[in-house]
Amino acid sequence: MKVILMRDLKGIGRAHDEIMLADGYALNYLIPKKFAIPATAVAKREAETRRRQAVDRSALDAALVAQNIASLAEARIIIRAKANEKGHLYDAVGESDIRNAVKEQTRVDLPDTAIKLEKPFKELGTFDVPVSAGEAFGRFSITIEAEE
């Protein structure tokens, strides 16, 4: 049976693809769960329209992320954390802490997987943070200061 997938399904196909599946699998599992619809002429036209819209939306999102990453190059992000007198942090500063600080201080919203740290920061100081999303990549600096 030919169906059009409504979303990406691992091992089966991508959203808006027309694929051939066993009748029982399509009728008993995919269609009732709204993972797929029967491949009629109307459904094919709508799937093509949704595919084009998804491509346009992803191109727009990629451009926005690239612009956000470029704007971070000049930004100075300051994170305050508790530290001992030797400058070691009690709790490491990780990707989610950095993403929250960027959003709070610069109003730039990065994707969840954009920040690429080898390991969390555990000391006070200034560090470069690599960022990449899709084809856009860059770096920005953060300063970790001791909380008073």
Q: Which pLDDT value is given to residue 147?
A: 86
Q: Which pLDDT value is given to residue 133?
A: 79
Residues whose CB is less than 8 angstroms from the CB of residue 68 and which lie 6 or more positions away in sequence, other chains included: 108, 109, 110
My answer on whether 129 and 82 are in the same domain is: yes
Q: Which of 33, 68, 103 is the last residue of a domain?
A: 68
Q: Which pLDDT value is given to residue 109?
A: 82
Q: Which pLDDT value is given to residue 58?
A: 82
Higher pLDDT, 67 or 2: 2
Q: What percent of the chain has pLDDT over 70?
A: 100
My answer on whether 99 and 58 are in the same domain is: no
User: For 56-83, what is the mean pLDDT?
Assistant: 86
CATH number for the domain that contains residue 120: 3.10.430.100
Residue 7 and residue 93: Cα distance in Å, rounded? Answer: 35
Q: Which pLDDT value is given to residue 62?
A: 81
Q: Which pLDDT value is given to residue 143?
A: 94
My answer on whether 80 and 142 are in the same domain is: yes
Angle at 74 between CA 70 and CA 75, to 5 degrees: 105
User: For 76-98, what is the mean pLDDT?
Assistant: 92
The maximal CA–CA distance of the chain, rounded, in angstroms, is 71
Q: What percent of the chain has pLDDT over 90?
A: 62
Query: What confidence tens digit (pLDDT) does each residue in 104-114 have?
Result: 988 888 888 88
H helices of 1-142, in order, are 23-25, 41-72, 95-106
- Average pLDDT over the chain reads 90
Rg from Cα positions in the chain: 23
Q: Decide if pLDDT at 64 tops 90.
A: no
Q: Decide if pLDDT at 37 tops 80.
A: yes
> How many structural domains does the chain have?
2
Q: Which of 42, 68, 94 is the last residue of a domain?
A: 68
Q: Decide if pLDDT at 148 tops 80.
A: no
Enclosing domain of residue 79: 72-146
My answer on whether 34 and 95 are in the same domain is: no
Q: Which pLDDT value is given to residue 9?
A: 92
Residues whose CB is less than 8 angstroms from the CB of residue 95 and which lie 6 or more positions away in sequence, other chains included: 115, 117, 120
Q: Which of 68, 94, 126 is the last residue of a domain?
A: 68
